[in-house]
Amino acid sequence: MAEPKQDFIRIRNVSKHFGDFVAVDNVDLTIGQGELFAILGGSGCGKSTLLRMMAGFETPTSGTIEIDGVDVTQQPPYERPVNMMFQSYAIFPHMTVEKNIAYGLRKDGIADDKIAQRVDDMLGLVQLGDFRKRKPDQLSGGQRQRVALARALIKEPKVLLLDEPLAALDKKLREKTQFELMNIQDKLGITFVVVTHDQEEAMTLSTRIAVMDEGRFLQVGTSKEIYEYPESRFVADFIGTINMFEGIVTHAGDEAISVACDDLGTELHALGSYDVELGQHVCVAVRPEKIFISVEQPDDAQGDVCLRGVVDDLGYFGNRSLYRIRLESGRMIQVSRQNQRRSAKRFVEWEDKIWVTWRPRSAVVILDEA
Amino acid sequence: MRRQSRFIISVLAFGYAFLYIPLVSVVVYSFNDSKLATVWGGFSTRWYGELFRNDQILDATFLSLQIAATSATFATILGTIAGLVLVRFGRFRGRTLFSGMITSPLVMPEVITGLSLLLLFVSMQQLFGWPAQRGFSTIMIAHTTFAMAYVAVIVRSRLSAMDESLEEAAMDLGGRPLRVVFDITLPLIAPAMISGWLLAFTLSLDDLVIASFVSGPGSSTLPMYIFSKVKLGVTPDINALASLIILIVSVALLIAWAVMRKNQSR
Amino acid sequence: MGTVTRSDTTWRRISIAVPYLWLFVFFLLPFAIILKISLADPVIAQPPFTPMFDADGGLSISLDNFLFLLTDKLYAVTYLKSVLMAAAATILCLTLGFPMAYGIARSSSSVRSLLLLLIVLPFWISFLLRVYAWMGLLNNYGAINNTLLWLGVIDQPLQLMYTDFAIFIGLTYSYLPFMVLPLYATLERMDMDLIEAAQDLGASRTRAFWDVTWPLARAGVIAGCMLVFIPAMGEYVIPYLLGGPESLLIGRVLFDEFFVNRDWPLASSVAIVLLLLMVVPIVFMQRNQAPELEAPE
């Protein structure tokens, strides 16, 4: 197989204005062939508009969209090598499963027996062989989704767009479908672009994520990059939970920096090289699972941050517990901990006095404007 | 659902009685043997028999049915296109005027529509020589014009309730807009189109005023015939005709209702 | 919608053009012709009015007809009467129709479809025949008088036919379904929990009605009223069959002016003035049309 193209999908300076309202604000994006790419954002951030522009249902106010080297910006949806799986699935209610799936091929003028063969293959791929003659109102939500998927994939598009694919499914089904989607994508090698507001969905499904807000991309990277190295307060807060401490840089070295935080009444150290100046306002952020709770004072090794606090609230979630700790300075932080031991007695109780610690390398420094 | 208040139930009862007592009374009197329609003379079905021997009534009925079927079909086609245009085509030049024109016939008094169309036909006759004789075609045109407004309303409301992503999905899969209309949109609004056709048919069959304006000698529709007779007062053969129509419409509607209920419960 | 190609644009143009042209020729243009003729004088000729342009190309219009209408007391009274009658019928339809629509909207679904069917059925039966049915009832020897005589309430038949009262009843009877149906559509969509919430917060049933139900039903009330009031203003059949020689309504006047007096210009001007009277309610109705019927911009 030929080397997958890095810039299979090129979105350049694309904007979309609806009157005065700017839905998409001058975005650039490059997606590689065979990627499973996610665009993540809250409602109203512009992700659906961007998706519709890629599908051809909206025309960009400015900018271009290229797919496999071809400028498709002005092409109508029925001429693009792009297919979409709609959020509502949009299965034609007056056609059987078979006819639904075959619809796209009929338009291409392919011979009937060829169509039948491809439909068979698709039904096998999505495991709906027994349902071929059913009508949509006789199918469950999950089955309808598979029909929508088969219908889009049968045309072997270069790009498959998915609009909130897991939103309507319950938790168990969601997990199952997630893996199915990834398998299918892997098998067929089609480039997937998923639009979602659900971070879990984005993180598990995709190879790379673009976090979007108010029509702009805030950060583009792998799940790990986004989670562990957020580049803005918004992204840090949007993905999962995070504790953020504002402060001023007191020392900037090659390997580490120190930040004085009023909130905590102490200095925080973070590993890594950051392009900062003394006196600059930054934010030091630590994820809840990277903070440890102990009842006894821990050894102050390797410059760990060590703070005293009181358990303000706790929540039990089966595999893990979440704690809200009130530090001496009055500041609240969140800590999460795997429940590794099975015991009738809780690890700590409300109002317990405890110590919290974290390693300097667990903290990430965020430089964007507050 | 919830228990209804006594007030509501009594108003409902009164309202339905108000609606149906006149109809019931007509049916009862149609079996009246006496020539004086309002004085009871005994039970008889002779007026029904007389109906079928009356050539004028039969001719008028046939003409009305023809006009109704033709104008209903044209009205459905035009009204459906208008409905599609207004709901799916977004903005275009002259849209406000178009929207106004398609809803005004719904409320326009019939004397005005009738008068305006007659004057149009007279002017056209002066200018082009057509229509030389007013009758079937002029009535048909008139009925199509006001009926399409009704069809458009029905189609519009069905279209707005329809999921637009169905048409987008079809386009995404390679269907050109025109193909999509025939493959997806029309099949899904078919029930609305059928009710539109039926409504247009009934309106045409029932129209008196407009037909009076735009018809010519020799083309008398059923309502025109009935009107010419009832001007003079209540007559027994019209009682019979009325009862027959009431019966046919009631049976047709009941059948339609039963069929719809069966479909819904499936 | 999305981007389109040239042939799609052509089809789009055709789709807009066909109904547009039809309506323009057969709906709008005739009004222009009415206007033109209203500005002419009647003559004994075929057609019976003076042409707009003289043989030498000069414009010959006369406002005689309009002046006549404005100064003639009879016409003013007739217009006023038509408006008042239509308004009265609308109010009665609303008073009777609102509780009916409410009752139907709140009934259980099995009963509801039957109730709706029964409201719609008279609508499908010929308008003319329904008015005719009232002729039989209101007659001096009709069912109403017979019943009252038999009950001993009266000893002489009441003159019910050929009166304004008969017209009023006839209008209400014929237009009642037009009021009930839009009201039902609006009420059916209303969330009944809102009324219970209001009552839970201390509102009595009447208060809850005025505070919650009535404002939410506004759209349906307006639609229903317009569907009754506007056509009722120009009614012809009902005043003719049920009214007497003194109960003249404008629809009848127009018809008579045209067919009996053969005064086409005057009839046209009567129509124009009636149209002008209707412009305000029509525009009002258009503005208040249910937003769901309009496409999103």
In three-state form (DSSP H/G/I as H, E/B as E, the rest C), the secondary structure along chain A is CCCCCCCCEEEEEEEEEECCEEEEEEEEEEECCCCEEEEECCCCCCHHHHHHHHHCCCCCCEEEEEECCEECCCCCHHHCCEEEECCCCCCCCCCCHHHHHHHHHHHCCCCHHHHHHHHHHHHHHCCCHHHCCCCHHHCCHHHHHHHHHHHHHCCCCCEEEEECCCCCCCHHHHHHHHHHHHHHHHHHCCEEEEEECCHHHHHHHCCEEEEEECCEEEEEECHHHHHHCCCCHHHHHHCCCCEEEEEEEEEECCCEEEEEECCCCEEEEEECCCCCCCCCEEEEEECHHHCEEECCCCCCCCCCEEEEEEEEEEEECCCEEEEEEEECCCCEEEEEEECCCCCCCCCCCCCCEEEEEECHHHCEEECCCC
pLDDT beyond 90 at B58: no
Mutate to test the interface with A, among B168, B172, B178, B181 (most CBs of A within 10 A): B172
Q: CB A90 to CB B175 under 8 A?
A: no
**pLDDT in the model for residue A263:** 77
Q: Would residue A244 count as lying in a domain? A: no
| Residues A217 and A255 grouped into a single domain | no
pLDDT for residue A356 is more than 70: yes
* Pair A232, A255 in one domain: no
Residues 243-282 of A with CB under 8 A from B: none
Q: Could you tell me the CATH number of the domain that includes residue A216?
A: 3.40.50.300
Mean pLDDT on A307-321: 89
Q: Is A151's Cβ below 8 Å from some Cβ in B?
A: yes
Check C235 against B115: CB less than 8 A apart.
no
pLDDT at B197 exceeding the cut of 70? yes
Tens-digit pLDDT profile for residues C49-82: 666 655 554 566 777 788 888 788 888 888 889 9
Residues 231-260 (B) with a CB less than 8 A from some CB of C: 231, 233-234, 238-239, 242, 245-246, 249-250, 253-254, 257, 260
Report the domain count for chain A. Answer: 2
Which of B98, B102, B119 to mutate against chain C (most C CBs within 10 Å)?
Answer: B119
Cβ B173–A83 below 8 Å, yes or no? yes
Band the pLDDT of C124: cuts 50, 70, 90: confident
Instruction: Write down the pLDDT at residue B64.
Output: 94
Do A274 and A323 belong to one domain?
yes
Mean per-residue pLDDT, B145-167 = 91
CB contact under 8 A, C8 and A76: yes
pTM for this model (two decimals):
0.82
Residues A266 and A205 in one domain: no
Between B68 and A369, the more confident residue is B68
Residue B183: pLDDT above 50? yes
Measured between alpha carbons, how far is residue A286 from residues A242, A283, A300, A333, A336 in Å? 6, 10, 18, 10, 12
Query: Domain boundary residue among A236, A267, A287?
Result: A236
Closest CA to C106 of C96, C91, C116: C116
Number of domains in chain B: 1
Answer whether residue B23 is part of any domain: no
Do A182 and A259 share a domain, yes or no? no
**Cβ contacts of B181 on chain A, cutoff 8 Å:** none
Question: Is A1 part of a structural domain of the chain?
Answer: no
Whether residue C115 has pLDDT greater than 70: yes
Q: Give partners of C (≥3 CB pairs < 8 A).
A: A, B
**Are both A167 and A277 inside the same structural domain?**
no
Is residue A223 located within the same domain as residue A273? no
Q: Mean pLDDT lowest for which of A325-334, A359-368, C89-98, C146-155?
A: C146-155
Buried b (16+ CB within 10 A) or exposed e, B113-134: bbbbbbbbbbbbbeeeeebeeb
pLDDT at A363 over 70: yes
Cβ <8 Å between C128 and B178: no
When scoring B38, B113, B195 by the number of chain C Cβ atoms within 10 A, the one with the most, hence best to mutate, is: B38
In a domain, A224, yes or no: yes
Domains in chain C: boundaries: 72-262
CB contact under 8 A, C2 and A59: yes
What value does the mean pLDDT of chain A take? Answer: 89
- What pLDDT sits at residue C46? 60
> What kind of fold does domain C72-262 have according to CATH?
MetI-like fold (1.10.3720)
CB of B175 within 8 Å of a chain A CB? The answer is yes
Distance CA C110, CA A18 (A): 46
Answer yes or no: is B157 within a domain: yes
Kindly list the residues from chain C whose CB atom is less than 8 angstroms away from the CB atom of residue A71.
Answer: none
Chain A interface includes C12 (CB < 8 A): no
pLDDT tens-digit series, residues B217-249: 888 899 999 998 888 777 778 888 888 888 888
Please check whether residue B168 touches A, CB under 8 A: yes
Mean pLDDT of A125-147: 91
- B20 CB neighbours in chain C (<8 A) are 118, 122
* Predicted local confidence at residue B27, as pLDDT: 85
A82 touches chain B (CB under 8 A): yes
pLDDT for A307 equals 86
Cβ distance of C122 and B115 shorter than 8 Å: no
pLDDT band at B209 (very low <50, low <70, confident <90, very high): very high
Q: Is A64 on the interface with C (CB under 8 A)?
A: no
Mean pLDDT of A257-274: 82
Among C108, C237, C258, select the one facing B208 at the smallest CB separation: C237
**What is the percentage of chain C residues whose pLDDT exceeds 90?**
17
> Does a structural domain hold residue A245?
no
Structural domain containing residue A104: 9-236
Tens digit of pLDDT for each residue in A76-101? 888 899 999 998 888 998 899 999 99
Q: What is the pLDDT of residue A64?
A: 95
Q: Which domain holds residue B219?
A: 58-232
- Out of C3, C5, C8, whose CB is closest to A59? C3
In a domain, A184, yes or no: yes
CA angle (B144 as vertex; B83, B106 as ends), nearest 5: 60
Local structure of residue B183 (DSSP, 8 states): I
Chain B residues with beta carbon closer than 8 angstroms to that of C295:
86-90, 160
Burial of A322 (0-12, 13-18, 19+ CB in 10 A): middle
| Min distance A48 CA to chain B CA atoms (Å) | 13
* CB contact (8 A) between residue B1 and residue C173: no
Same domain for A222 and A254, yes or no, is no
Q: What is the mean pLDDT of chain B?
A: 87
B82 Cβ contact list (under 8 Å, min separation 6):
B98, B102, B148, B151, B152, B155, C19, C23
Nearest by CB: B169 against A56, A90, A155: A90
Q: Are residues B92 and C18, on separate chains, in Cβ contact within 8 Å?
A: no
Q: Does A317 touch chain B (CB under 8 A)?
A: no
Residues in C touching B21 (Cβ below 8 Å): 137, 143
Lowest mean pLDDT among A114-118, B49-53, C15-19, C115-119: B49-53
pLDDT of C1 above 50: no
Question: Residue B48: what pLDDT?
Answer: 80
Task: State the average pLDDT for chain C.
Answer: 82
pLDDT tens for residues A28-67? 999 999 999 999 999 889 999 999 999 999 999 999 999 9
Flag whether A189 is in a domain.
yes
Give the least confident one: A228-232, B141-145, B216-220, C151-155. C151-155
Nearest CA in chain B to A154: B173
Q: How many CB pairs under 8 A join B and C?
A: 268
Partner-chain contact B25 C136, CB within 8 Å: yes
Does residue A17 carry a pLDDT above 90? yes
Judge contact between B244 and B51, C-beta under 8 A. Answer: yes
CATH number reported for the structural domain that contains residue B225 in this entry: 1.10.3720.10
